Every structure is written in structure tokens, then in C-alpha cells.
């Protein structure tokens, strides 16, 4: 079976507005045909600029972008055959829904009868058949967003770009739309590039995620690998919840390591992810759901280097799970996440406890600068 081919290639792309600060810094990235790729990162990380460069609304100051092997540098946005969905929907309020969706076809000179057929088909795709005669102001936020998606699909583009399209929706509707867009992608097989700063959204929707930071991609991976196996401290901190402990590398061999935790002068065992010298500063990442907790003095099935002592300060009920806040020396906010079925096994608030883990879930990185 042949491997997927890239529909888009970013080759050495740079973008600067003042000749000094690099908004996008020597970016190499392949977007594979038919995939759902999310560009994820904090504000100012370069993710939206990267999308705008691909759409043609920004011009790179270095490098080249290829669409199906052809350079885009001299191709204007309207000739790139790329659909675009914006956060504010960008619907024309004076037009009907059918006219809004048909607009990309009318500017391409498609006959009226063909436009009507394609508009009806696009409305059915987003489950809004029969809404064509209404105007945007008569629709809810979620319905307007679906119309924006239908407009991006109607001219059958090779690629659809979405710039934080769900940012204006409330939580429940946002989560519903995440699933709808994901199902639409799976049904149509069109390539989608999606920008968000919401990590949960990226994990829910993507085939792959590119985490941006300071104009560069820190890690490009599947959601599962991104969460379970972050490759540096920034990704570990940015994706999902994370307990952080700082210390120095004491020993390292065969991927395993011992870290001397700065606050307690205690040695803990973990997995060394990056190349770090003995004695160098490291930060340790432990996901809250990968940590166990027991009252101090109970028998614990964990090796000595995979446990720390503290006291249980708070239990937070969250419906399907509980979070236990443990105060460790040097870290008053160490969190343990347990399913609701285990809530009754937790020690009482104020109890002396030990938290413990397995070495593969304790990941050590070079400290961020």
C-alpha cells in the first residue's frame, strides 16, 4: 500500500515584518492529502500567519510553498482553489443563505442552474437543507458556522483552511461542532488545515498536530503520541495537564535516568527524552492521570525512585473524575486525577500521602529557557 503524498509543502518558509523578528522561522512542513492537520500554539506562535501564507493573504519573505508540486508565490488567493473558514463566519448579512453559499461559484462564472444544485448539496452536507431562503441574522451561531463551512466546500476545493472557526461559540456548541466538522472531513476525505489555540480541540479533531512556538514547529505528531510522548518541556506543558518538578540530571543509561529534585534533594527515576548532560537542569513531566496516591504507611507497589511524600490538601469533584491536590515540598499544586469509581479509595483531606508512578510516565526534558 502506497503512503499518502503531500498536497502542500512548506520549504524553508520565513516571515518577518521588520527584518528582525521572525513570525515564521525557516518552516518545513508537509500536509498530507486527505488528512486533518491542526496548527496549535499560543498567541503569537506563528500558526495563523502560516495559514495566511498558504491562503495567499500573506507573502513569505523566504522559502516557497508548493500546492500539488506547483509554486504558489505568484498565484493570487482566488486562483489557489482553497476554501477558507474564518472565526467570524464572514457571511454577507444582506444575502440569503443560498446566495452566501453560492457566492464562490458565481464569481467563478458557474451557470445559475449548476449553482442551485451545488448549493442544495452543500446545505445537505452540513445538515441544513431547506435553509437557503433565510438570512444569516435568522440563524444561530452554530448554524452560521455550518453555512461558512458549506460555502468553503461548495466549489470543491483541494484544501480547506479553518482559522479558529469555533472560537465564538459556547462550550457545548463548540464541542458539538468539533465532532460535526470531524465527521464531515471523514465523510468527504478533503484535506483540512485547522488553526486553534485550544489543546482539547486539537486532540479531538486531528489526524496530526503541529505545535508551534516562536515561529517554529516544536513537535509534529498524532494526538495520542503528542499527549503521551511529548518531545520537549514546552509541548509537555502546552498539551494537556501536567505536573512539573525541577531538578538536575544525576545519572542516565539506556533511556532511563535519575533526577535529583531541587526542592527536596530526593532522587526520582524517569525516562530521559532529550540529550542532557549529567548535572544539567531538567524539568520532569507527570500527567495527573498517570499518578497513583495512597495514604502514607500503606504498602505501595512502586520502586523507591518512583514515589514522593506529601499531604492531601483538596479533593475536587468533576462528575466523571476527581482531582486530588497534593502539597509536595516545592510544589503545592501537584494534581492526581482518578476516575469517579476510585473516589472512595482516596485518603481524607489533611492526610499524609505518597504519590507514585512508573518510570516510563515520568519524562525528563532539558529545562526551558
Residue 177: per-residue pLDDT = 84
Grouping H, G, I as helix, E, B as strand and the rest as coil, residue 4 is: coil
Please state, in angstroms and rounded to a whole number, the distance separating the CA atoms of residues 289 and 280: 28
Q: What is the Cα–Cα distance from 98 to 116, expressed in whole angstroms?
A: 8
Identify the CA nearest to 25 among candidates 73, 67, 61, 66: 61
- For the entire predicted model, the pTM comes to 0.89
d(CA 171, CA 180): 14
**What's residue 19's pLDDT?**
85
Q: Which residues pair with 311 in a beta bridge?
A: 327, 352
What is the model's pLDDT at position 302?
65
Cell numbers for 262: 531541587
β-pairing, 36-40 with 208-213? parallel
Which alpha helices (DSSP H) does the chain contain, by range?
47-55, 97-106, 112-125, 141-153, 171-188, 199-205, 223-228, 233-238
Q: What is the pLDDT along the chain (369 residues), one digit of tens a residue?
A: 446 789 999 999 999 999 889 999 999 999 999 999 999 999 999 999 999 999 999 999 999 999 999 999 899 998 898 999 987 778 899 999 999 999 999 988 899 999 999 999 899 888 888 899 999 999 988 889 889 988 988 888 889 999 998 887 788 888 888 888 898 899 888 999 999 999 999 999 999 999 999 999 999 999 999 999 999 999 999 998 999 999 999 999 988 999 999 888 889 999 999 989 999 999 999 999 999 999 987 766 667 788 899 999 999 999 999 999 999 988 889 999 999 999 998 999 999 999 999 989 999 999 876
Task: Give the up-direction half-sphere exposure of residue 268: CA atoms within 13 A in the CB hemisphere.
Answer: 33
Within 10 angstroms of residue 238's Cβ, the number of other Cβ atoms is: 22
Domains annotated for the chain, with CATH where assigned, are 6-233 (3.40.50.300), 242-366 (2.40.50.100)
pLDDT value at residue 3: 60
Amino acid at each position: 500500500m502506497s503512503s499518502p503524498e503531500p498536497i502542500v509543502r512548506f520549504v524553508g518558509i520565513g516571515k518577518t515584518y521588520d527584518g528582525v523578528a521572525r513570525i515564521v522561522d525557516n518552516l518545513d512542513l508537509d500536509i498530507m492529502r486527505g488528512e486533518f492537520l491542526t496548527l496549535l500554539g499560543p498567541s503569537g506562535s506563528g500558526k495563523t500567519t502560516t495559514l495566511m501564507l498558504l491562503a495567499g493573504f500573506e507573502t513569505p519573505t523566504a522559502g516557497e510553498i508548493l500546492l500539488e508540486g506547483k509554486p504558489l508565490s505568484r498565484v493570487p488567493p482566488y486562483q489557489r482553489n482553497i476554501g477558507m473558514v474564518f472565526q467570524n463566519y464572514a457571511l454577507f448579512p444582506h444575502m440569503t443563505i443560498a446566495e452566501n453559499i453560492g457566492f464562490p461559484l458565481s464569481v467563478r462564472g458557474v451557470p445559475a442552474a449548476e449553482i442551485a444544485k451545488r448549493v442544495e448539496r452543500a446545505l445537505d452536507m452540513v445538515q441544513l437543507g431547506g435553509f437557503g431562503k433565510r438570512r444569516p441574522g435568522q440563524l444561530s451561531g452554530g448554524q452560521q458556522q455550518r453555512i461558512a463551512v458549506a460555502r468553503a466546500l461548495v466549489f470543491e476545493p483541494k484544501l480547506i483552511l479553518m482559522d479558529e472557526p469555533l472560537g465564538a461559540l459556547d462550550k457545548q456548541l463548540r464541542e458539538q461542532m468539533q465532532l460535526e466538522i470531524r465527521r464531515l472531513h471523514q465523510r468527504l476525505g478533503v484535506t483540512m488545515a485547522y488553526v486553534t489555540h485550544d489543546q482539547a480541540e486539537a486532540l479531538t479533531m486531528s489526524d496530526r498536530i503541529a505545535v508551534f512556538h516562536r515561529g517554529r514547529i516544536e513537535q509534529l505528531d498524532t494526538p495520542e503520541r503528542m499527549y503521551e510522548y511529548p518531545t520537549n518541556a514546552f509541548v509537555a506543558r502546552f498539551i494537556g495537564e501536567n505536573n512539573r518538578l525541577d531538578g538536575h540530571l544525576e545519572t542516565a543509561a539506556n533511556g532511563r535516568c535519575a533526577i535529583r529534585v531541587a526542592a527536596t534533594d530526593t532522587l526520582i527515576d524517569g525516562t530521559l527524552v532529550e540529550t542532557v548532560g549529567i548535572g544539567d537542569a531538567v524539568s520532569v513531566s507527570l500527567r495527573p492521570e498517570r499518578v497513583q496516591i495512597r495514604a502514607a504507611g500503606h504498602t505501595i507497589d512502586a520502586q523507591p525512585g518512583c514515589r514522593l511524600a506529601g499531604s492531601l490538601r483538596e479533593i475536587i469533584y468533576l462528575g466523571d473524575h476527581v482531582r486530588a491536590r497534593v502539597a509536595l515540598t516545592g510544589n503545592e499544586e501537584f494534581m492526581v486525577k482518578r476516575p469517579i469509581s476510585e473516589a472512595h479509595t482516596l485518603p481524607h483531606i489533611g492526610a499524609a500521602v505518597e504519590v507514585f508512578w512508573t518510570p516510563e510516565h515520568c519524562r525528563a526534558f532539558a529545562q526551558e529557557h
